[in-house]
Amino acid sequence: MKKILKTILIPLCSVILVTSCNKDFLNTQPLNVAAAGATWSDASLSEMFVTEIYNGVGEGYLQQNSLDNQTDNCLFNFGRQSIMESNISPDNPGDRLGTMEWGNMYRRIRATNIALQNLATAPFAADIVDRLKGQVYFQRAYYHNQLLRYYGGIPIIKIAYGLDQDYNTPRNTYEECVKAIVSDLDSSASLLDGKSLPQGRASKAAAMALKSRVLTYAASDLHDIPTAKQNSTLIAGFANPELLGYVSGDRNARWVAAKAASKAVIDLGQFGYNFGLTAPQSKADAMSDYTKLSLSRNGGEKEAIFGKYYINAATDDWGAWYPRNNMPNGYHGWSSTEPTQNFVDNYEMMDGTKFDWNNPAQAAAPYENRDPRFYASVFYDGGAWKPRTTDGATFDPYGELQFGTYQTGTGGGTTVAYAGLDTRNSNIENWNGTRTGYVIKKFMDPNPAIVDMNQKQEVPTIVVRYTEVIFNYIEACLQTGDEATAKSWLNQIRFRAGMPAITASGSALVNIYRNERNVEMFAEDQRFFDARRWMIAPSVFGQKVRIMVITGSLKPGKTVTTYRYSKDNYNYNYHVQEIEQGVENRSWNDKVYFPPFYRDEISRNNKLIQNPGYQ
């Protein structure tokens, strides 16, 4: 959301206790602070208070160390991830983002409770009160759910605690949490029905879409305790499983509810870009559409149900610095988010078959004839990008990615090894090149003016997009036995991406759906939760990181002085290997399904039961 109000300070309590003989002097109201009484008697000030609460949404997937770096999809270039190494404890609770951090979320939740408490008696117009309350109910649901999907059951707080109250509050059961969050979302949707709000604010559709997410998670394997116990001895031995999921009840009914919630968003008819195709579109059109979706532009903004937006002239948000954080080092970027070979191998061939390193033709040209979304999402060796900065153009006047080591000189004669500009041995910057052989391209503004590390972009973080709701609907259809509807919607997503229809059924269809969701929603903070709720984390998060090592050898008689990707001049070798020991030693432990609470939080709240696997 537009954070023009970021610096507004509204105190939680306007009473200041002081002692002095000059009472009038000391009781002077600070000029930069609105008194509580003034805030809630004035519609504009109340609006400011509610708007500030949105700041807790944070940068989402545009954060430098995004959640996909905590998965098999990507590697973070600047430090080992303790979650991925299962090296977490109450004293070292992991590399989480602030948007799920306990204290940050409860500060925002307290602000929502203060707002609801005061809006109940606000003296201004009822339609304004309803619009503000509708946003606040959404915010409270959103922040509670950020904690719920990370920790499992949490204390649901619906009062603004004062200084003289008991803060020791037990965790609600997972089922109670879901009911409370859904209740807030239903209230939000009702109050915001027919209301027009600025970009980046909650809406009826946003509340309904978040409900789709909440109920889809609630119906999943990890939160169905009988299923979770079968898949994890740690969860099976936990004394309070009701904090982690449903210990009883009709699981099919939960999937039916999730399906209905998702279908309700679809039935609004307000969102979606280029759905309804009956055949795959061309590679060029598919790449263009996928780029539009990632940038939320030129039609792609029709996917955005709720998000955070940036105005570079007014703010200096970390998400706006995405090009600096993630562009390859040969463009003076930091290569922060690096897709792994594990993830790249998920992209199918254009004909819908799986890529296979045992196929000699595919192994010799691994970047040809792949799913068009690959080319819109991943910087790979030889791929075209923007013109280099002046220093880079000396070595690469063509604006093509260089992730390998290549010969220059004359093939069969005198040659010199040349390290590509985007490697860790670059002539431009040699400290921040990719370790995996790839860098993320998705969400990168193609504007050629944004090439220097000092340039920001105005690409929004979409917190909830329409295609996620479609995937939720597909998953619920699969779980309730409606394969025909599931395939119909899955094929619409694939046709938009330039990929052929799916004809599989049963478990094969479920696996295709999961891969399709990961590829389409790559780097959108989905994989971190999906692999856990499906309980496939041991097999995918426990994998060692695989990387790509590329060498280019000059063909006999070919002479090259300034390197450029060329199959006419070079024989290329693509070698996949595990990343060197010590960069990140990935492993899986079931305790990571539910990360720990800080030990300090346990000390503050003696009713807070720790998650399983932690002392």
Query: Using CA atoms, how far apart are residues 405 and 421, in angstroms rounded to an integer?
Result: 9
When pLDDT is cut at 50, 70 and 90, the band that residue 9 belongs to is very low
In this structure, the dihedral spanned by the alpha carbons of residues 264, 267, 269 and 271, taken in order and rounded to 10 degrees, is 40
For 141-165, write each residue's pLDDT tens digit: 999 999 999 999 999 999 998 888 8
Element (DSSP H or E) covering residue 464: strand 461-465
Are 291 and 446 within 8 A, CB to CB?
Answer: yes
Mean pLDDT of the region 50-74: 95
Cα–Cα nearest to 237, from 590, 592, 479:
590
Please write the tens of the pLDDT for every residue from 270-328.
Answer: 999 999 999 999 999 999 999 999 999 999 999 999 999 999 998 899 999 999 999 99
Q: For the segment 433-484, what is each residue's pLDDT rounded down to a tens digit?
A: 999 999 999 999 999 999 988 899 999 999 999 999 999 999 999 999 999 9
pLDDT of residue 28: 55
Asked if the structure places residue 131 within a domain, the reply is yes
Domain membership flag for residue 129: yes
Q: How far apart are CA 519 and CA 268, in angstroms?
A: 26
What is residue 7's predicted lDDT score, i.e. its pLDDT?
33
Number of domains in the chain: 2
pLDDT at residue 25, as a whole number: 47
Q: 260 pLDDT band (50/70/90 cuts)?
A: very high
Looking at residue 100, its pLDDT comes to 85
The pLDDT mean for the chain works out to: 93
Please name the amino acid found at residue 175. Answer: E
Q: How many other CB atoms are found less than 10 A from the CB of residue 93?
A: 19
Encode pLDDT of 316-355 as tens digits. Answer: 999 999 999 999 999 999 999 999 999 999 999 999 999 9
Q: Of 126 and 615, which is predicted with more confidence?
A: 126
The confidence score (pLDDT) of residue 615 equals 84
Tokens 């790559």, residue? 522
**Within-domain flag for 561:** yes
Whole-structure pTM value:
0.93
Q: Of the ranges 39-48, 87-96, 340-349, 606-615, which one carries the lowest mean pLDDT score?
A: 87-96
Q: Is residue 105 part of a domain?
A: yes
**DSSP string covering 253-309:** HHHHHHHHHHHHHHHH----SS---SS---HHHHHHHHHHHHHT-TTGGGGEEEEE-
Q: What pLDDT digit, counting tens, does each position of 360-414 carry?
A: 999 999 999 999 999 999 999 999 999 999 999 999 999 999 999 999 999 999 9
Place of tokens 């500009």: 421
What are 190's two structure tokens?
Answer: 């009702």
Residue 306: Cβ-neighbour burial (10 angstroms; 0-12, 13-18, 19+)? buried
Q: What does the buried/exposed string (b/e) look like for 528-559 if buried means 16 or more CB atoms within 10 Å of the residue's CB? A: bbbbbbbbbbbebbeebbbbbebebbbeeebe
Written as one letter, the residue type at 25 is F
Q: Sorting pLDDT into bands at 50, 70 and 90, what band is 95?
A: low
Query: Do the beta carbons of residue 207 and residue 188 sit within 8 Å?
Result: yes
Is 421 part of a structural domain of the chain? Answer: yes
Residue 139 has pLDDT above 60, yes or no: yes
Question: Who's near 111: CB < 8 A, 6+ residues apart?
Answer: 12, 49, 52, 53
- Check whether 119 has a pLDDT greater than 70: yes
Evaluate the CA torsion angle 523, 529, 531, 534 in order and state its sign: negative
Asked whether the predicted pLDDT for residue 94 surpasses 80, the reply is: no
SS (H, E, C) 294-339: HHCCCCHHHHEEEEECCCCCCCCCHHHHHHHHHCCHHHCCCCCEEE
31-45, 52-66, 166-180, 490-504: range with lowest mean pLDDT: 31-45
Task: Please report whether residue 328 resides in a domain.
Answer: yes
Q: Do strands 337-339 and 74-76 pair parallel, antiparallel, or not at all (unpaired)?
A: antiparallel
Q: Please give the pLDDT value at position 23.
A: 53
Residue whose tokens read 């900065």: 389
Rounded to an integer, the average pLDDT of 183-196 is 97
* CA-based R_g, the chain, Å: 26
What's the token pair of residue 346?
A: 């998920």
Q: In this model, does residue 596 exceed pLDDT 80?
A: yes
Q: Kind and range of the H or E element at 547?
A: strand 546-554
In a domain, 20, yes or no: yes
For residue 133, tell me if it sits in a domain.
yes
The pLDDT score that the predictor gives to residue 10 is 35
The torsion angles phi and psi of 461, rounded to 5 degrees, stand at -90, 115
Quickly state the pLDDT bin for 105 (edges 50, 70, 90).
very high
Residues 6+ apart with CB under 8 A from 509: 478, 483, 486, 487, 502
Provide the domain limits for residue 121.
1-57+96-144+156-169
553-586, pLDDT tens digit by residue?
A: 999 999 999 999 999 999 999 999 999 988 999 9
Mean pLDDT, rounded, for 532-551: 97
